[in-house]
Amino acid sequence: MATLLVAYAFFLLVVAVVLGTLSVYAWNRRDSPGGTALAVLLAGLSIWNLCVAAGVLTRGTELALRFAYGVFVGVMPAIAGLFVFALAYTDRDRYLGWRTVALLSVEPLVFFAALFGGPDGLIYRISGPTDAAMYGWGITVGPVFWGHLVYSYALIAVSSALIIHYALVSGDLYRKQMYAVLLAIVLPWFGSVVSIFGDTGIELTPLLLAGTGITLTWAFFRGRLLDISPVAYREVVESLNSTVFVVDTNDTIIEANDAGRRLLGDETIVGQSVEDALDTSPALLEKYRGLNDDAEETQAVIEQSDRFFDVQLTPLHDARDALVGHVFLVHEITEQKQRERELERRNQQLDQFAAVLSHDLRNPLNVASGRLALARERNDPEEFDRVEAAHDRMSSLIDEVLAFARDEKTTDRVELQLSALAKAAWGHVDTGAATLRIDGDREITGDRDQLLQLFENVFRNSVEHGSTNRSSNGVKSDAAVTIRVDATPDGFTISDDGPGVPPEEREEIFTHGVTSSESGTGLGLAIVQHVVESHGWDVEMRESRSGGAKLVISGLETRPTQLSETPS
């Protein structure tokens, strides 16, 4: 018996050294969540073990009784440290104020007051020496001890419940770490229950503290207990606006922050397979499927439902450099993409601005030049008035083209007649021998200057492209082209009897830069489309009855006012 107890005592001394060393390590990491409380807990357990070992080695003496009481010097801070560690580790720091410290101090003060100032028997009743007892004395516990025991077990139960609950809600990423902490807590207190209520001959609690030491050693050095605690993880990850997913090697999502749950619209994605969780995000799922175990960090931009996301996928390795999963970092960049597209569109408009000016100003400039030549030849004052009108038109065009470049919407709407608009625009275009026919009339509510620009561009395109394509040698000729303006129930059409537009080119004919003329800028019909869309109408290119081009503008609310044929 004596030999066994000596071996037992030396084993406890080794455990005490291990726990003390871990306590120093935790104290050096006291800035980590729960680090200080864990250091106090381990120090208390170390003192507890040390006192039991010393009491066994001095069994049968007065000193052994002092060590039996000294056990409580370790037990008290161990219990308080366990509770404070549970609060800090489970992100309940708001409860760690002076009130908590004061409340935790009440029970130890009452206990030691009873120990030093109360009558004998409140904690232990000591009987004569006996070789059958571990300390060499017959010891019977008193009422204060039982009160301390109930208080201690209550704190242990609350601390364990806090950690268990946190383990269940924190995902699989940190459960192993927390289960190690729970095992380290349960082992010695299980031994305490068995030792008090059973007849074991020795205290199992200090013995099982060896398991606590081994478990916490693993938690420190393998589970990185104080390096990546769940509290620190949640403070960092949950504060991110970006979506974070952690996926294990079995293609199961084991962790996701609130932004990730909002992105997928599912609060229960943790524990789901990647296929199920990302079913509503096919682009992201396709990106994940393209991964392989040897893939390095990859980054890509995906588009989903008019939203853009920057996706970064990083392999996750353990301490042995083995692949344990992948981390998704998804950041929405929709606003950035929209700004980039808007900037690109604005740059294109600026690049085309000079060409637009020269393209649209050429018509009234040609008219002014022709009228000026006639004025000099005929000395006719009316021709000078026409030159002045052409100059006024050029000034108006400059204002309108500037508005187009700024992407301004139509605001000045008046009631106009289709026939009057067509005739006014015809007078601003160098039409040569071309003929204008107006079939029907109707009211149009819109911006007069923009609609004049629309008609002028269409007339000019018909005259230039029709005449050029009618020539036999490819050089512009004076061959006459007939242009018709027709009223329709929901709009109007402008058609000609020229060569028309091939079906395969009709969809892109309104695109900037598209032209069939070597000298053209490809901006005329692009401006037409802009004017139509600014009025809220629709435009389409079709084939006329004579095989030429037919521009159909629809979406107007008014009805034709009269039908008549007005040649010009």
- Copy the structure tokens of residue 555: 């979406």
Phi, psi (rounded to 5 degrees) for 398: -60, -45
Q: Would residue 426 count as lying in a domain?
A: yes
Is the domain of 36 the same as that of 184? yes
pLDDT at 193: 73
pLDDT band for 222, please (50, 70, 90 cuts): low
pLDDT band for 357, please (50, 70, 90 cuts): low
pLDDT at 477 over 60: no
Q: Would residue 422 count as lying in a domain?
A: yes
Whole-angstrom Cα distance, residue 61 to residue 54?
11
- Please, what is the Cα angle at 292 between 286 and 298, to 5 degrees? 70
What CATH number should be reported for the domain holding residue 515?
3.30.565.10
Closest CA to 364 of 401, 389, 381, 333: 389
The domain boundary, picked from 310, 332, 354, lies at 332
Crossing angle of the two packed helices 62-89 and 98-117, in degrees rounded to 10: 170
- Copy the structure tokens of residue 72: 């409580």
The residue that leads in pLDDT, 353 or 49, is 49
Is the domain of 198 the same as that of 285? no
**Which residues make Cβ contacts (< 8 Å) with residue 272, sequence separation at least 6?**
252, 253, 266
Average pLDDT score over residue span 81-102: 81
pLDDT at 63: 92
Is the domain of 294 the same as that of 167? no
Q: Which helix (H) or strand (E) holds 193?
A: helix 175-197
pLDDT at 199: 64
pLDDT at 238: 52
**Which residues make Cβ contacts (< 8 Å) with residue 293, sequence separation at least 6?**
315, 323
On whether the pTM is more than 0.85, the answer is no
40-76 residue pLDDT tens: 888 888 898 899 899 889 988 889 888 988 888 888 8
The domain boundary, picked from 407, 438, 460, lies at 407
The residue that leads in pLDDT, 196 or 399, is 196
Phi, psi (rounded to 5 degrees) for 242: -80, 155
The residue that leads in pLDDT, 153 or 249, is 153
Crossing angle of the two packed helices 418-426 and 448-470, in degrees rounded to 10: 60
Q: Would residue 219 count as lying in a domain?
A: yes
Whole-angstrom Cα distance, residue 206 to residue 44?
12
Q: Would residue 511 count as lying in a domain?
A: yes
pLDDT at 390: 73
Closest CA to 159 of 208, 232, 100: 100
Is the domain of 222 the same as that of 290? no
Is the domain of 105 the same as that of 7? yes
Is the domain of 380 the same as that of 489? no
What CATH number should be reported for the domain holding residue 44?
1.20.1070
Q: Out of 64-78, 137-151, 310-324, 450-464, which region has the weakest mean confidence (pLDDT)?
A: 310-324
Average pLDDT score over residue span 505-529: 64
Q: Would residue 236 count as lying in a domain?
A: no
pLDDT at 360 over 80: no
Is the domain of 20 the same as that of 100? yes
Is the domain of 93 the same as that of 182? yes
Q: Are residues 75 and 126 in contact, defined by beta-carbon separation less than 8 angstroms?
A: no
Is the domain of 118 the same as that of 184? yes
pLDDT at 278 over 80: no
Q: Are residues 526 and 540 in contact, defined by beta-carbon separation less than 8 angstroms?
A: no
pLDDT at 455: 92
In total, the chain counts a number of residues equal to: 568
Is the domain of 29 the same as that of 160? yes
281 is in which domain, residue-wise? 241-332
Is the domain of 414 the same as that of 366? no
Give the total number of structural domains in the chain: 4
The domain boundary, picked from 284, 300, 332, lies at 332
Average pLDDT score over residue span 246-268: 75
**Top mean-pLDDT range of 142-156, 162-176, 386-400:** 142-156
Average pLDDT score over residue span 336-364: 70
Is the domain of 15 the same as that of 129? yes
**Top mean-pLDDT range of 90-99, 192-201, 374-383, 400-409:** 90-99
What CATH number should be reported for the domain holding residue 302?
3.30.450.20
Q: Would residue 59 count as lying in a domain?
A: yes
